[in-house]
Chain A
Amino acid sequence: MTGPAATDPLKAAAGGPDGVCARDTGVAGLVDPGWRPVPASSILLRHDAVRDADLLVMPERVVVLNGEAAHVVRLCDGSRTVTQIVGELSAAFPDAPVADDVPEFLRRVREEGWLR
């Protein structure tokens, strides 16, 4: 067994992908609209009943998704394309800039290695 710091799994516990709703849009073209995002095999999306929050749980880290991010990630089940995810969210949240923000958000989460 190693020292405490070596096993601290929660260096990013409360942080995550900085809150998570992307505001810096403009690179949405980098995401293939036909991509069917799904959590990476090492990652578990689970609801935390104690904190009433959705989490991405991975070997040494827990990422707390904010409400908007959780809505998006819950649709990433490997069956829906990016286009379909954007469509569903646009219908559910007609006032939100979904078409701009969601592809960029997905790109960033993939860059972290959490979606594939």
Chain B
Amino acid sequence: MTSPPWAMLAELTHACPLHCPYCSNPLELVGRSRELSTEDWTRVMAEAAALGVVHAHLSGGEPLLRADLAAIVTAAEGAGIYTQLVTSGVGLHRSRMDELAGAGLRSVQLSVQDATAGASDLLAGARSFAAKERAALAIRESGLPFGLNVVLHRHNLDSIDEIIALGVAWGAERVELANTQFYGWALRNRGALLPTRDQLRRAEDRVGVWRARLAGQVELIWVVPDYFEGVPKPCMGGWGAVSLTVAPDGAVLPCPGAYALPGLAFPNVRDRALRWIWENSEAFNAYRGTAWMSGPCAGCPRRDVDFGGCRCQAYAITGRPERTDPACSLSPDHHLIRELTDETGPGGEVTVGSDHGDAGIGGKERAAPFAYRRPLSRSAGARMAIDGDRSGP
């Protein structure tokens, strides 16, 4: 029998005031008119709780853009689900914070892009650092558990000391130092985001120093850069094993990156019960367990530890989702990862994207080497830009 899921990532909207080039949302963002209604989310929360979901991460995009966010929190809380808001902080004023806490929100994870306003705003593609600082204060005043998330890459790893110090100054109890995972927009921007081995080594050393210094006060989480480790991540705790993702339009996926995989039709909560989707749908059973594995995973003692790594990464790099994750040093495709990570010297910066000219924050005309995350127009021009510039295979 299929064991029940523990967690649900509820992507309430893909709309976002930020345009981070490392975003793992799909290149084709779901438009607002296709989003689930309040009633839909209320039903999804009840079905998720009955199925066994304990945690819901209310994410996006920017979930604060949903005017009915408090109603969704109330529905989750009423169903017995613990909710965490995952937010850019833009729009998290004190009154909104109070409204959400009153509705039963249990915890907040705030993002920041770098330790200074200039660097953070440049990465976000929007003036947002000051709003984040205000949001941090509102979270702290609410008394809810406060985690700060910083996605790390070539452009901010060298600021690791300042980033951790910022987390301490803002009053976070947890600082999640999350090396970029290359999906969606991050995959498209991979050439511009991949750090060097030296950068990673230095940063990890500093995290060790800070960990000793902050022991018992602030928890530091280092999310490993799997491209560099030779060991695949146990992605999502296994396919259809621990967690499910509900996209803004109601599509249900085993992970937020799975939309990119070929040959899978992801069922929608508008058409099907969540339990049927989890237990019976072809999509959730495609890579569940270990029976789908071939060599070297099939005979590997670690197959129940890392579950063959990540299907989306296997597909992104080899074109075949059933291959061993090439991040694994035992993968016959591991050289494809090595070619990428060995190439990332400081001179390896690549300019991608058709819209980098809009990075002129504060009047500066500094062109960032990113394709900022933005909704695509349906025009042929935008499509060509995406198809032509995509940095992944």
Residue from A51, A57, A60 with most neighbouring chain B CB atoms (10 Å) = A60
CA distance A11 to B176 in the complex (A): 14
Q: Is B230 an interface residue (CB 8 A)?
A: no
Ordered by A's residue number, 30 sampled pairs between the chains whose C-beta atoms are within 8 Å are A1-B59, A1-B60, A2-B111, A2-B176, A2-B181, A3-B151, A3-B186, A3-B257, A4-B24, A5-B181, A5-B224, A5-B235, A6-B151, A8-B236, A8-B242, A10-B55, A10-B237, A10-B242, A13-B6, A41-B143, A42-B144, A48-B54, A50-B4, A51-B4, A57-B54, A57-B82, A59-B147, A59-B174, A60-B147, A60-B221
Q: Which residues of B contact A (CB under 8 A)?
A: 4, 6-7, 9, 11, 23-25, 50-52, 54-55, 57, 59-61, 80, 82, 84, 86, 106-107, 109, 111, 143-145, 147, 149, 151, 173-174, 176, 178, 180-183, 186, 221, 223-224, 226, 233, 235-237, 242-243, 255-257, 310
**Contact call B257/A4, Cβ cutoff below 8 A:** yes
CA distance A51 to B54 in the complex (A): 11
| Interface residues of A, count at CB 8 A | 25
CA distance A76 to B176 in the complex (A): 30
**Contact call B237/A8, Cβ cutoff below 8 A:** yes
Give the residue name and chain of the A residue nearest to B151 (CB). A2
Q: Chain A contact residues: over half helix, strand or loop, or mixed?
A: loop
Q: Which residues of A contact B (CB under 8 A)?
A: 1-11, 13, 41-42, 44, 46, 48, 50-51, 55, 57-60, 62
**Contact call A6/B23, Cβ cutoff below 8 A:** no
**Contact call A2/B24, Cβ cutoff below 8 A:** yes
A19 to chain B, nearest CB (A): 18
CA distance A69 to B106 in the complex (A): 24
Question: Which residues on B sit within 8 Å (CB–CB) of A55?
Answer: 54
**Contact call A13/B186, Cβ cutoff below 8 A:** no
**Contact call B174/A4, Cβ cutoff below 8 A:** no
**Contact call A7/B151, Cβ cutoff below 8 A:** no
**Contact call A4/B55, Cβ cutoff below 8 A:** no
CA distance A58 to B109 in the complex (A): 13
Question: Which residues on B sit within 8 Å (CB–CB) of A41?
Answer: 143, 145
Give the residue name and chain of the A residue nearest to B183 (CB). A3
Which residue in A6, A42, A62 is a CB contact (below 8 Å) of B223? A6
Question: Which residues on B sit within 8 Å (CB–CB) of A60?
Answer: 84, 147, 174, 221
10 A-B pairs with least C-beta separation: A3-B181, A6-B178, A42-B145, A59-B107, A50-B52, A59-B145, A57-B82, A3-B24, A1-B59, A10-B6
Give the residue name and chain of the A residue nearest to B55 (CB). A9
**Contact call A4/B235, Cβ cutoff below 8 A:** yes
**Contact call A1/B256, Cβ cutoff below 8 A:** yes
CA distance A29 to B257 in the complex (A): 51
Which residue in A2, A3, A57 is a CB contact (below 8 Å) of B55? A57
The answer to whether residues A44 and B106 also contact, given A7-B57, A13-B6 and a CB cut-off of 8 A, is: yes
CA distance A58 to B144 in the complex (A): 11
Question: Which residues on A sit within 8 Å (CB–CB) of B52?
Answer: 48, 50-51
A47 to chain B, nearest CB (A): 9
